[in-house]
A and B are shown apart, each in its own frame.
Chain A
Amino acid sequence: MAAIELKGVSKTYPGKVQAVTGIDLAIADGELVVLVGPSGCGKSTLLRMIAGLETITEGTVSIDGRVVNKEEPAERDIAMVFQNYALYPHMSVRRNLEYGLRNRGTPRNLVNERVTEAARILEIEQLLDRRPRQLSGGQRQRVAMGRAIVRQPKAFLFDEPLSNLDAKLRGQMRIEIKKLQRTLKTTSVYVTHDQLEAMTLADRLVVMNAGRIEQVGSPTELYDRPQTQFVAGFIGSPPMNFIAIADLPEAEAARIAASAPGVAVVGIRPDSFSFAEGAPDLTLPASVALIEPVGAESHLYLTWGKQTLIAAVQGRPDVTEGQEVTLTVAPTKLHCFRPDGQRIDKR
């Protein structure tokens, strides 16, 4: 277990392609940090630089207070779980788990002890003599995690480990990973493009876009106070609605601009809409285009001017498709952004 510190880390590929630019990030001992962002945002590259699978163009990566830029992955004492599991297909599960320990010259009895322990934690004892191809996706995932656990490394690195599983299993494994990390208290960096996975897993969330960090914070912080329009749009499902201030009636626009000077775009979470009218609220007359019941709540797709807004309401809404409604939003629920996408904190 160890803290990981990134200072000004950049990666430039041949041909001057900047994959990652100037990343500063300190990951505390025992913390589970999730790197999240759209594909191509550099999150995997960053993880692979921590792992040592990718060279670092600029900046330093330190693990446990030691700069590891020049060290091989094995010397950094980290373990990685890959998206396609990367189990050795010709070895039994037991051999897969043992392989890293054996290469490190761990004594036989200690190897057995660790393997037994990891198999017990992950409930794969009865699979130890099978080959990876005889396992289901979820079981392979467990073995891949087992391979990380047995080593008792300084840090776990997860590279989209659940992407190849179906939705139900993904939910299950997500909980298990979280539990496991809580039990083992091993510093972990987890990469995903799934914001729900990111929200539920993370102690701290790092939202990345175009090779840069957009915002770092706890999942609720990021949800409640997104610092940029990108984060606001990326975190939360269904996504936040954005309305250009120019599209609002002048009186409303002026009122919002008064409390947040320089505002260009307002963001409204789908669950911030209500149909009850109140005096200071922003009102938007709209028509219901489509109702999507998703169980406990319903998603309403509403046409407002030329734009489609999404509202999430609890239970079954008492509106029908095609009906005209007035949406209202309390001023406290508005997120205001400048033209460059930065958040404006309202007075």
Chain B
Amino acid sequence: MVENRPVLDFICHLILIAGVVVVIFPVYIAVIASTHGPYDFMSGLIPLLPGSQAAENYSVMLGTGISSSGTPPLWPMLLNSLIMALGVAIGKIVISILSAFAIVYFRFPFRSLAFWLIFITLMLPVEVRILPTYKVVADLGMLNSYPGLIIPIIASATATFLFRQFFLTIPDELLEAARIDSAGPLRFFWDILLPLSRTNIAALFVILFVLGWNQYLWPLLVTTDPGYYTVVMGIKRMATVAESFPQWNLVMAAVVLALLPPVIVVIAMQRFFVKGLVETEK
């Protein structure tokens, strides 16, 4: 690592740059495409330089939407996505930190069974249990509603497991000191565990927000009312139009706009995010 070998350095950088290019290029194409007029793609060649239609494209998407594909303007869809992503991220964190708290700090019958049951659900992602879940949600009358979008994907074995592992690293003496200091279980949780978990929560929030934002299959199933469309599934609808060409310039403008919130969240929380993932010091 400390050796100074120019050839090795060169190769390392080459690989890294190649990796970045592979990741960046589609994003670049999307941004470029969103600045062109609707007919610039007819030739089948994608222009690689910015066009002049950026302002129009974006104002159309934010203002009226693509009426021919039956999608509403982007604003409400972005808002729906935001509500769903926040709901999923916050809900998952709340549920999982509480279950981890219960599993680590309370002695109750079948405690390890409870833990393993939660753990096993890792093997059952939404896609596997989607039909029964849909049935349940439908019977509860939660189709076309925010709870219907959020609640079924709120339980998270991964987050529970992460919090459990973190709690196990907190020395027992801290709990004992708190017990002697007249802190009951909830006060211990609120005053001590929660502040200590801050960085973990931040890191998890970033991951879960992006996960919630990118949900596609579930919103597609449970929403039929355009008022509840999320932006990711909305884009899909825009791209599949019958008997005409998709308006790629507008679709790409929507893609770029949909990309922004997760990027903002990641950048804003980057400091905590990295700290939460690498921090070992208690």
Which residues of A line the B interface, CB within 8 A? 51-53, 72-74, 78-80, 82-84, 86-90, 99-100, 103-104, 133, 147
Contact = CB atoms under 8 A, between A and B. Distances in A.
Given A86-B174, A89-B196, 20 more contacts: A52-B179, A53-B176, A74-B180, A78-B180, A79-B180, A80-B176, A80-B180, A82-B176, A82-B177, A84-B171, A86-B173, A88-B174, A88-B178, A88-B191, A90-B195, A90-B198, A99-B178, A100-B181, A103-B182, A103-B187
A147 B179 CA distance: 13
Contacts, number: 58
Contact of A100 (B180, B195, B196, B281): B180
A74 B176 CA distance: 10
B177 A74 contact: no
B196 A103 contact: no
Interface centre among B173, B174, B181 (most CB of A within 10 A): B181
A103 B195 contact: no
A12 B282 CA distance: 33
Nearest to B179: A73
B282 A73 contact: no
Contacts of B173: 82-84, 86
A90 B196 contact: yes
A120 B178 CA distance: 24
B182 A104 contact: yes
Contacts of B192: 88, 90
Contacts of B174: 86, 88
Contacts of A88: 174, 177-178, 191-192
A84 B177 CA distance: 11
A150 to B, nearest CB: 10
A74 B282 contact: no
Q: Closest 4 CB pairs between A and B?
A: A100-B181, A86-B173, A74-B182, A103-B182
Nearest to B170: A89
B188 to A, nearest CB: 10
A103 B180 contact: no
Contacts of B177: 80, 82, 86-88, 147
A86 B170 CA distance: 10
Interface in B228-252: none
Q: Which of A51, A52, A103 has the most CB of B within 10 A?
A: A103
B207 interface: no
16 contacts: A53-B176, A73-B176, A73-B179, A80-B176, A86-B171, A86-B176, A88-B174, A88-B177, A88-B191, A89-B282, A90-B198, A100-B180, A100-B182, A103-B187, A104-B182, A147-B181
Nearest to A144: B177
A162 to B, nearest CB: 15
Nearest to B187: A103
B94 interface: no
Contacts of A74: 179-183
B263 to A, nearest CB: 30
A236 B48 CA distance: 86
Interface string B141-185: 000000000000000000000000000000101101111111100
A116 to B, nearest CB: 19
B196 to A, nearest CB: 6
A154 to B, nearest CB: 12
B200 to A, nearest CB: 13
Contacts of B187: 103
A148 B66 CA distance: 69
Q: Which of B180, B181, B196 has the most CB of A within 10 A?
A: B180
B181 A103 contact: yes
Given A53-B176, A82-B173, A86-B176, A99 B181 contact: yes
Contact of A53 (B179, B181, B182, B281): B179
A74 B180 CA distance: 5
B280 to A, nearest CB: 13
B182 to A, nearest CB: 4
Given A88-B192, A90-B196, A103-B187, A73 B180 contact: yes
A273 B177 CA distance: 48
Nearest to B281: A133
Contacts of B191: 88, 99
Contact of B180 (A51, A83, A84, A133): A51
Contacts of B171: 84, 86
A329 to B, nearest CB: 47
A90 B171 CA distance: 14
Contacts of A104: 182
A297 to B, nearest CB: 39
A53 B176 CA distance: 7
A113 to B, nearest CB: 18
A239 to B, nearest CB: 32
A238 B196 CA distance: 46
Nearest to B282: A89
Nearest to A89: B282
A133 B281 CA distance: 10
A53 B198 CA distance: 28
Contacts of B183: 74, 99, 103
Interface string B248-282: 00000000000000000000000000000000011
Contacts of A84: 171, 173
A80 B181 CA distance: 9
B277 to A, nearest CB: 19
A335 B195 CA distance: 58
